[in-house]
Amino acid sequence: AQSVAQPEDQVNVAEGNPLTVKCTYSVSGNPYLFWYVQYPNRGLQFLLKYITGDNLVKGSYGFEAEFNKSQTSFHLKKPSALVSDSALYFCAVRFTGRRALTFGSGTRLQVQP
């Protein structure tokens, strides 16, 4: 079955330290992968996407993600976390031929001052 998983409910990191939010997927064919962020009482905001090409994708607010086909992963990263990065992060995948995005369960990122 095609699916996307975020294995961590919460990630805690100190301000200034690098952060990683994990995402793995299970799909046949080539997926289109996305990261969205949700701040309290707000809708989701697009961060970045991987369609094809370079495995390292750069996005908004200094975030980047690395596509790893052999490990079927698409982890979100940032070299230096900010307190303002604290939010709920969703990995999403669009499967071939489907219009819908399938979202993971979300990972809450807490950046401590």
Which residues are near other proteins by CB under 8 A?
32, 34, 36, 41-46, 49, 51, 90, 92, 94, 98-106
| Distance separating alpha carbons of residues 18 and 25, to the nearest angstrom | 23
Determine the Cα–Cα distance for residues 63 and 20; give it in Å rounded to an integer.
10
Q: Which is nearer to other proteins, 99 or 113 (CB)?
A: 99
Closest approach of Cβ 38 to other proteins, in Å?
A: 8
Structural tokens at position 45: 């905001």
Q: What's phi and psi for 102, nearest 5 deg? A: -105, 120
Output the smallest distance, CB 28 to other proteins, in A: 16
The residue (of 42 and 58) whose beta carbon lies closer to other proteins is 42
